Structure 1
Amino acid sequence: MTRLIALLLIAGTAALAGCNTMAGAGQDISNGGHDLTNSAEQAK
């Protein structure tokens, strides 16, 4: 029973860390797209 609880805690922590990483990557990509769009608008 203790092993099961420990395994669930580890799996939950890994899942949360993965979600935060993907959210951060999505924000970085989005910010890069906005920067590219802004520089293209300025170059007109």
Structure 2
Amino acid sequence: MSAPTLTKIAAACAMLMVLASCANTIRGMGRDTANAVNATESAGHSVKRAVVN
């Protein structure tokens, strides 16, 4: 294979890795956000129970 062909293949592989990393990061951020919302709701319920009792 010639150098330009290998360069194109390497660039395509690098782009695939970057896109896969972005997808994992976005999914991870979504999970972290959901966990933060759940923790906040739980804390709110705990405070509500403490005030009512």
Give the TM-score of the pair, scaled to structure 1: 0.91
> Number of matched residues?
44
| Distance in 2, Cα, partners of 1:5 & 1:37 | 48
Q: CA deviation at 1:12?
A: 0.1
Letter in 2 for 1:2: L
Unaligned runs of 5+ in 1: none
RMSD (Å) for aligned C-alpha atoms: 0.6
Q: CA deviation at 1:21?
A: 0.7
Q: Which residue of 1 aligns with 2:51?
A: none
Identity of aligned residues (%): 20
Unaligned runs of 5+ in 2: 49-53
Q: Which residue of 2 aligns with 1:5?
A: 9
Give the TM-score of the pair, scaled to structure 2: 0.78
User: Rg bigger for which structure?
Assistant: 2
Deviations 1:1-44 (A, max 9, x none): 11111110000000001111111111111100000000101111
For residue 43 of structure 2, the aligned residue among 34, 39, 42 is 39
